[in-house]
Structure 1
Amino acid sequence: MKYILHIKNIITIIKKKRYEMNIGLIGTGIMGSPIVRHLAEGGHTLTVYNRTKEKAEKLSDVAYVASTIEELTQKSDIIFMIVGYPKDVETVALEIFKTAKLNTIIVDMTTSSPSLAAYLYDMAKEKGLHMMDAPVTGGEVGAIAGTLSIMVGGDETNFDIISPLLETFGKTIQYMGKAGNGQRTKLANQIAIAGALAGTVESLYYANSLNLDLTKAFEIFMGGSASSTQMKTNGLHMINKYYEPGFYIKHFLKDLNLAIESSVKHLEVTVKVRDMLEVLVDNHHENKGTQALILYYLDNLAIL
């Protein structure tokens, strides 16, 4: 009963915008930094932490920069985290569990393993904490614009609590059910991206190999059924030979490996795109954006 009243009070506070919630965020990279700024614009009191403190200090105008995870946990009622890989998720979550206040809600926005999400959910519950998996999609552009899509797994009661916060940086937000379902939905999303990205790459590679005007071809594609988010953003980057990351190749490779490992079915197209990304990583392109998949062809890296 006390917990139910605690939840109702939190929801009331957020919805009335009394801004009495103390929010923590761990991981101030490409995605985390703009999310922090959106939360700050919503009027919330923020504490941030990043393993490389200098990356967090650029947010000191809108958030307190903690020196340790323990310091952040003591200042936060709800903690968001968006880090790199499943091993980072586990390390950071276990560190949070050591010192987090009772009934703290921890929201992992990293794309990670569904089984790890379920494991951390159970462990958090044993400690009187609440773990949610809420990976995001939309890339750096969506994070900056505040239009991310967010898929959430965990207890629905806690989803109701965090929803007003998610709305500060997300446009499409769905509760997907039990712990791990947020991650499962995100991996399905990444499978769709893999196909769309590969199609964009081969379309432009084909057009270029026949000496077609790529700018004109791009306009045709965008005006018809070939139009997609991948074509609109990454297709244009490919034409302009712009490979700076909005989403790292190394992180997309991680996502596709997670999808393949967690699938009960063979994912033929996903496996092929994963193999192409592995070749790019082997050739030192891991820190480029996913649009650099076209280098698999342009640099003659294709395994024929």
Structure 2
Amino acid sequence: MLAKETTTIGFIGTGVMGKSMARHLLHAGYPVIVHNRTKEKASDLIAEGADWADSPHEIASKANVIITIIGYPKDVEEVYLGELGLVKNARENTYLIDMTTSTPSLAKRIYEEAKKKNIYTLDAPVSGGDVGARDAKLSIMVGGDEAVFKELQSIFEMLGTNIVYQGPAGAGQHTKMCNQIAIASNMIGVTEAIVYAKKAGLDPEKVLQSITSGAAGSFSLSNLAPRMIKGDFEPGFYIKHFIKDMRIALEEAEGMNMETPGLSLAETLYSHLSAKGEDESGTQALYKYWDR
């Protein structure tokens, strides 16, 4: 595993999840250099001791481990494969870890291009939302070379508790698609259950006491249903990003000649909310589809 005393971590993307993740590494004693499109979103980390970089290119010149958790595949492609991107500008033997939920095919392209320059890459998307990031209890799904995964395992352990090597480049992203497919249908069920409880004249909080620890139990039921009941639709995970993930999964499933009716329905419902201006809300705002 990499020695802490010879490791400088660059962290690109200090949003809802990335800020907490970078903070864990900073508090663990690593030198951390941060970059975000909006510097203000990194101000807390800078005040706590992180250094600021004006661009991914600058981070590439200073860090030997670089983590990204950004928005969309097009952003990943620009940050990694653009002229001023990480692959073209990082030093040999740098480790690049993309924790964005992106496409398996792009993860493979990044891996192949980086390999030509003796740069190591992993695709390592995460699940657990803002709570998992804050508590360092993320699930981390890793694709790439297993030897590289083992080198970086101590860093992953600062961020999550369920860390699984899934296979070669792209395998982490495919695993995240499985995760999002499972969540998509589950969110419909959780939301319908809360709406049903209210319409039946029940106390939804008491209903949750009964059903969260039974066969219906899930992360969404335990963590997001209480937010629905309170009318708290602040993002732990943005609707706009969930729609992006579902569309990646739909495209991948179509390429495998697989029908995904539950996923398709969820994408339709969330797209309806997006059209109503809910892109910046958390995924629990699906509740608003019924609460009209």
TM-score in terms of structure 1 length = 0.91
CA-CA distance at 1:157 after TM superposition: 1.2
Q: Distance in 1 between matches of 2:40 and 2:180?
A: 31
CA-CA distance at 1:202 after TM superposition: 0.7
User: Partner amino acid for 2:190?
Assistant: T
Match of 2:91 in 1: 101
Q: Distance in 2 between matches of 1:80 and 1:262?
A: 25
Equivalent position to 1:220, from 210, 215, 226:
210
Q: Distance in 1 between matches of 2:205 and 2:66?
A: 45
Please show how residues 10-29 of structure 1 align to structure 2 within 5 Å: 11=1, 13-14=2-3, 18-29=4-15
Q: Secondary structure at the match of 1:30?
A: coil
After superposition, the C-alpha distances for 1:32-86 in whole angstroms (9 at most, x for unaligned) are: 1111111112211111111112212321123111112222111100100000000
Match of 1:3 in 2: none
* Residue 251 in structure 1 maps to residue 241 in structure 2: yes
Q: Distance in 2 between matches of 1:203 and 1:114?
A: 34
Asked if structure 2 preserves the Cα contact closer than 8 Å seen for 1:124 and 1:130, the reply is yes
CA-CA distance at 1:169 after TM superposition: 1.0
Asked if structure 2 preserves the Cα contact closer than 8 Å seen for 1:27 and 1:81, the reply is yes
CA-CA distance at 1:285 after TM superposition: 0.6
Asked if structure 2 preserves the Cα contact closer than 8 Å seen for 1:37 and 1:62, the reply is no
Match of 2:65 in 1: 78
* Residue 292 in structure 1 maps to residue 285 in structure 2: yes
Please show how residues 205-284 of structure 1 align to structure 2 within 5 Å: 205-263=195-253, 264=256, 265-284=258-277
Q: Distance in 1 between matches of 2:129 and 2:31?
A: 25
User: Partner amino acid for 2:88?
Assistant: K
CA-CA distance at 1:240 after TM superposition: 0.9
CA-CA distance at 1:96 after TM superposition: 1.0
Q: Distance in 1 between matches of 2:19 and 2:286?
A: 26
Asked if structure 2 preserves the Cα contact closer than 8 Å seen for 1:117 and 1:133, the reply is yes
Q: Distance in 1 between matches of 2:5 and 2:117?
A: 27
* Residue 37 in structure 1 maps to residue 23 in structure 2: yes
Percent of aligned pairs sharing the same letter: 42
Equivalent position to 1:63, from 17, 30, 50:
50
User: Partner amino acid for 1:216?
Assistant: K
The count of residues paired between Structure 1 and Structure 2 equals 285
User: Partner amino acid for 1:268?
Assistant: P
Q: Secondary structure at the match of 1:224?
A: coil
Following TM superposition, the consecutive aligned residue runs of length 4 or more in structure 1 with deviations greater than 2 angstroms are none
Match of 2:177 in 1: 187
CA-CA distance at 1:197 after TM superposition: 1.1
Please show how residues 192-203 of structure 1 align to structure 2 within 5 Å: 192-203=182-193
Q: Secondary structure at the match of 2:6?
A: coil
Equivalent position to 1:46, from 32, 55, 58:
32
Q: Secondary structure at the match of 1:151?
A: strand
* Greater C-alpha Rg: 1
Q: Secondary structure at the match of 1:24?
A: strand
Asked if structure 2 preserves the Cα contact closer than 8 Å seen for 1:57 and 1:65, the reply is no
Q: Secondary structure at the match of 1:107?
A: strand
Q: Secondary structure at the match of 2:284?
A: helix
Give the root-mean-square deviation of aligned CA atoms.
Answer: 1.1
CA-CA distance at 1:205 after TM superposition: 1.2
Q: Distance in 2 between matches of 1:52 and 1:215?
A: 38
Asked if structure 2 preserves the Cα contact closer than 8 Å seen for 1:20 and 1:44, the reply is no
TM-score in terms of structure 2 length = 0.95
Deviates more, 1:222-231 or 1:233-242: 222-231
After superposition, the C-alpha distances for 1:122-144 in whole angstroms (9 at most, x for unaligned) are: 11112221221000111100000
Q: Distance in 2 between matches of 1:258 and 1:82?
A: 17
CA-CA distance at 1:148 after TM superposition: 0.5
Unaligned runs of 5+ residues in structure 2 are none
Unaligned runs of 5+ residues in structure 1 are 1-10, 300-304
